Amino acid sequence: MPRILPQVLRNLFRRPATVKYPYVRVEPPEGYRGRPSIDKERCIRCWLCIRTCPVRAITVNKETKKPSIWLGRCVFCGECAEACPTRAIIMTREFELATYDIQQAKSE
Amino acid sequence: MTFVVPIGPQHPALKEPEYFRFEVKGEEIVDFDVRLGYVHRGIERALQERSYLHNIYLSERICGICNVAHTTAYCQTIEQLAGIEVPDRARFIRTILCELERIHSHMLWAGIAAHEIGFDTLFMLFWRDRELVLDLKEMISGNRQTSASNTLGGVRRDVKPEYVPKILRTLEKLEKATEQYINICTSDRTILARCAGIGVLPKDDAKKLCAVGPTTRASGVDIDIRRDDPYDAYGQISFDVITEPDGDVLAKVIVRLREILESIHITRQAVKALPKGPLRAKITPKIEPNEAIGRVEAPRGELLYYAISNGTDKPERVRVRTPTYANIPSFKPMFVGGTVAEIPIVLASIDPCFACTDRVALVDSHTGKTRVLSFKELRRWKG
């Protein structure tokens, strides 16, 4: 008898190990590094985030004169959030970032 | 009369491109050759163009599966360059993350090996239990794979006291599951028929060809950087180095599975002995001219970093030697004398993870001669 049979039989009566993703969502844990978001009110324009970003994903928005993060380049390391002296940048727990519009792939 | 059977470059073993050339006489393999370099990314050059702090995230991306091992080795090397002392708590947290990564990497490999011999049930079971470790990694570091937790002079995140019960609970579950898998792998007839006595790497060859990691430990060579040159907190933790005398694929499976148990043991000790104190030491962006070497036992074997500094905030040169590169020569004794049917599992048995320089081989069908084309020649060539 194959040695794995007891495991296989037990699995028949177990609930599935996977979740039906788009219908059932598993919340990421506290402290998950998802999409970074910038609080424009709090930003004091010290540009520390631009200097610490390892992939140069942060640029200055010409109209608002505030930083904006291009998510196509961002590696979600969280260095900018750590460097920000006023905690204007935080890492949210959002992870569904696929989009058709390139303008959407930016932190607002 | 021999024939040449090309395997690859499309995903020969794992999901990575590499080209293997087998010379076969009927079913028997008589010669073996390998061409590396389909995934050359110029990372060593790129490391010279960025500052020391930015390089952490580049070195993390050399290998997705052993990312903590890469950043640990990189940080260790740069800390030696600059003469930084890492705080105790940071060293223990690095150890915990390294061992969690080893568990997940070995489980991933065991799953792929099971898939390679056509045992998909076991593959599913292994990958189901691998999720437990990934959840722990996500909880501690904030991401499943690229943990971004190491930094120069320490770690960026703490293992909070409220994490400890969950870590211990999951490790217990994993230990039970792994013991069961070892039981299955040593007694199931399908696995024994496909793995026992196949792809044998004799002890002499393993030593002569400088194989590293589980590949060489499965041949009875007793080396492990964690014990021979202790880094992080390994000097303060007691653990065994797992070896098996046989050198075949089954021995490699058993060594990796038993290493999971050992890793669970190490993680438990490290979590319980976690000292109090600061997480990171102060660093300066510029480093005086110096050179240093850092060694880490990655899941696949010895990982070596070498760095030279020149007084600026960028390194003059960084050299990385990954464990798979050291293990490639040991393919030859494993293949020659075997059969075509065992190619996939033997290829997978060293847990390959490729990166090097690129070329193409041409075989003339009339004379049977082989010529190597460079990338430039290939672009001009219209055959």
CA gap B377, B264 in Å, rounded? 51
CA gap B142, B288 in Å, rounded? 34
Q: Which of B35, B80, B96, B43 is nearest to B263 (CA)?
A: B96
Per-residue pLDDT at A102: 83
Does the beta-carbon distance from B142 to A31 stay under 8 Å? yes
Nearest to A32 among B55, B128, B138 (CB): B138
* Interface contact A16, partner B, CB < 8 A: no
CA gap A72, A97 in Å, rounded? 10
- In B139-158, the residues whose Cβ lies within 8 Å of chain A are 139, 142-143, 146, 148, 156-157
CATH number corresponding to A28-108: 3.30.70.3270
- In A22-51, the residues whose Cβ lies within 8 Å of chain B are 28-29, 31-33
CA gap B201, B211 in Å, rounded? 10
Q: Which of B95, B24, B188 is nearest to A2 (CA)?
A: B188
Alpha helices in B29-155 (DSSP H): 43-49, 52-60, 67-82, 88-116, 120-141
Q: What is the pTM of this model?
A: 0.89
Beta strands in A1-108 (DSSP E): 36-38, 58-60, 67-69, 89-91
Using a 10 angstrom Cβ sphere, with 0-12 exposed, 13-18 middle and 19 or more buried, the burial of residue B140 is buried
Digits of tens for pLDDT over chain B (383 positions)? 788 888 777 765 666 777 888 888 888 888 888 877 777 788 888 889 899 999 999 988 888 888 899 999 999 999 999 999 999 999 999 999 999 999 999 999 999 888 888 888 899 999 999 999 999 999 999 888 888 889 998 999 899 999 999 999 999 999 999 999 999 888 888 888 888 888 889 999 899 998 898 999 999 999 999 999 898 889 999 999 999 998 899 999 999 999 999 999 999 999 999 999 999 898 888 889 999 999 999 998 899 999 999 989 999 999 888 888 888 888 888 888 888 888 888 888 877 765 433 333 444 445 555 555 555 555 565 54
- The 10s digit of each residue's pLDDT in A28-78 is 888 899 999 999 899 998 999 999 999 999 999 888 888 999 998 999 999
In DSSP notation, B182-242 reads: HHHHHH-HHHHHHHTTSS---HHHHHHTT--HHHHHTTT----HHHHS--TTGGGS--PPP
Joined together, the tokens standing for residue B314 give: 């960028």
Spatial CB neighbours of B268, under 8 Å, sequence gap ≥ 6: B168, B171
B164-187 vs B249-272: helix crossing angle, rounded to 10: 160
Does the beta-carbon distance from B142 to A4 stay under 8 Å? no
Q: Which of B263, B243, B239 is nearest to B251 (CA)?
A: B243
Does the beta-carbon distance from A32 to B143 stay under 8 Å? yes
Q: How far is B192 from chain A (nearest CA, A)?
A: 12
φ and ψ of B180, to 5 deg: -65, -45
Q: How far is A61 from chain B (nearest CA, A)?
A: 23
CA gap B30, B24 in Å, rounded? 6
Nearest to B57 among A2, A29, A75 (CB): A75
CA gap B68, B60 in Å, rounded? 7
Spatial CB neighbours of B277, under 8 Å, sequence gap ≥ 6: B87, B88, B89
Per-residue pLDDT at B362: 42
**The CATH number of B43-326 is which of 1.10.760.10, 1.10.645.10, 3.40.50.360, 1.10.260.40?**
1.10.645.10
Q: Answer yes or no: are the C-beta atoms of B200 and B332 closer than 8 Å.
A: no
* Residues of A in Cβ contact (< 8 Å) with B46: none
Per-residue pLDDT at B373: 53
DSSP three-state, residue B179: helix
**Which sign, positive or negative, has the C-alpha torsion B204, B210, B216, B217?**
positive
3-state secondary structure B269-306: HHHHCCCCCCCECCCCCCCCCEEEEEEEEECCEEEEEE
CA gap B69, B98 in Å, rounded? 6
Joined together, the tokens standing for residue B152 give: 């120069």
CA gap A6, B180 in Å, rounded? 11
* Residues of A in Cβ contact (< 8 Å) with B184: 3-4, 7
* Residues of B in Cβ contact (< 8 Å) with A8: 121
Extents of the domains making up chain A:
28-108
Does the beta-carbon distance from A55 to B121 stay under 8 Å? no
CA gap B208, B255 in Å, rounded? 21
Does the beta-carbon distance from B188 to A76 stay under 8 Å? no
ipTM (interface predicted TM): 0.90
**Which sign, positive or negative, has the C-alpha torsion B101, B264, B194, B244?**
positive
* Interface contact A75, partner B, CB < 8 A: yes
CA gap B361, A76 in Å, rounded? 40
